[in-house]
Structure formats: C-alpha cells, structure tokens
Amino acid sequence: MTIATTIFHIQDRAAEQVEAALTGVFAREERPLALRVEGSYNATLARLDSTEAAYRYLLLLRPHGAGGWTPLLELGSRTEGLDVELSQALDGATIFTVYQYGEVVSGYRVTRAGVELDRYCSDPTAFESAEASDDAGVEASEGESAGDVEEQRGRPERFAELLPAGTTPADFTRVVLAPGWWETHDAGETPASAVAERDDEDEDDLVDELDRMRCIALALELWSSEDYPLTQELEDLPNKLIGPTIALAWGV
C-alpha cells in the first residue's frame, strides 16, 4: 500500500462519463492532458509510474457490486475539492471518497449534488506534529479548533440510505468510526493528551487504520459486500481482478 492513498467512488456513472468530467475539470484549470492509456491494470499503472505529471489518476473501468460504484485511484498530488467538482460535472452524482495515510489516519468524505455532505477523520490531530506529517507526505496543520474537530467526527445519518439493511448510523459509528481517538476524546481526554499517548500505546490496543478503511468500504459496498481489494499494495493487484483500466495524467 502506498503511504498516502485516496480513492474516489462515483455512484451510477460509467467510467467514460467520469473521464469526460475529469477532462472538463482540468481543462478549466488549463492543465493539458499528458497521458491517456487504456489497457490492463498493470500496464496502465506502470505508465502512470513513469510519468511526471503533477496530477495522476487511474480510472478503474469495471464497477463492482449492486451499488455500481466506479473507483478512481488518486496516485499523484492530492487535490482538495475534486470530489465536489466531479459531482457537479456529473449532474450531482454521489461520490464516496476513502483515504488512508500510512498507519496514522484514515477517513472519508461524502459528496452529493456538488456539496460535501459529511466527512470523517479517525484522528483530527494526527498531523499536528511535523514528524507525523512528513511520514504521510502532507503539510502539518496549524492545530484544530473545537469546531474543526467536530466537523470531522462523521455523521453517517447524513447518508443512512447507503448503509447496509439493518445497520443503523449509530451502529456504524460505534463499530467502525468511534474506536480509537474519538473514544478517547469523548471520554474527556484532550486531543493533545491523546496525541502524546499515541506512541506509548501497546500495538494490540491501536486501531488498524487499513482495516478501518476496509470496513468502511465493505459497509458501503464500494466494491462488493465481501471484498475490498484496494487496500492491498497497488502493485500486487492482479489484472484478472481489476479488469481493463484507463490511465490519465495531466500536466501542470
């Protein structure tokens, strides 16, 4: 697994529609298309690895499961707000984005009708130290206000219709979202103390962020209800599982 991984999942839109929307987004920014290659997963991944475009994406052609989500792997620079722009360009399509930075943090964003509905971060204080941010390849934050922290709690009631039948938003929060930093926070400990204690915790007590990301994806059936292979090392994903893909890269 790459240290920083972001995967957009666009509901009920074909890969060709997503490609056209991406092209429009970057055309408005006057970013030229540097690469377009269609073929096997491994071949397109190799081509993206060899390009130096500032923005690089790998579009997976084959949606999986009843939800019909088309996954889009972000392999280059992180782009804030791309999910909002894509949703606008795709007539309000629902986009569920999952992300994970090493063993530090994981989370999601939900966008619909060009508006962000909800966001979740497993530890809003994760990048307060420069060391943690260097490991994740992102800039350290200046610190979070109480309001900023609460905005990242995750409110699954805002997308309850996407949860499995019989799973309530409260269940989803209790089992998937709350364990770890949020449980500590809600128990009355300050974010600063939680950060200070993180390095001292026994490994058996730490939440596996990769597993949390997988649980989120399985619950939403972003691939299927039984599998979410995109938490593997990307280089290890087999062609027979992924199917044909389109590699797209834009220059600066």
Neighbours of 198 (CB within 10 A): 18
- 29 burial (CB, 10 Å; 0-12 / 13-18 / 19+) is exposed
- In whole angstroms, what is the distance from residue 206 CA to residue 56 CA? 32
Is the dihedral angle over the CA atoms 164, 121, 217, 26 positive or is it negative? Answer: positive
Q: How far apart are the first and last CA of the chain?
A: 26
CA 225 to chain centre: 18
Task: Reply yes or no on whether the pLDDT at 179 is more than 80.
Answer: yes
Residue 221 Cα distances to 47, 52, 191, angstroms: 29, 33, 32
Secondary structure letter of residue 36 according to DSSP: E
Task: Give mean pLDDT, residues 6-35.
Answer: 93
- In whole angstroms, what is the distance from residue 124 CA to residue 104 CA? 11
- In whole angstroms, what is the distance from residue 206 CA to residue 214 CA? 16
Task: Please choose, from the candidates 101, 128, 100, 96, the residue with its C-alpha nearest in 3D space to the C-alpha of residue 112.
Answer: 96
Its domain, for residue 166, covers: 4-250
Task: Reply yes or no on whether the pLDDT at 245 is more than 80.
Answer: yes
**Structure token pair of residue 136:** 């994740």
| pLDDT tens-digit readout, 53-108 | 888 888 887 777 666 899 999 987 766 899 999 999 999 999 999 999 877 899 99
Q: What is the pTM of this model?
A: 0.86
- How many structural domains is the chain composed of? 1
- In whole angstroms, what is the distance from residue 228 CA to residue 5 CA? 14
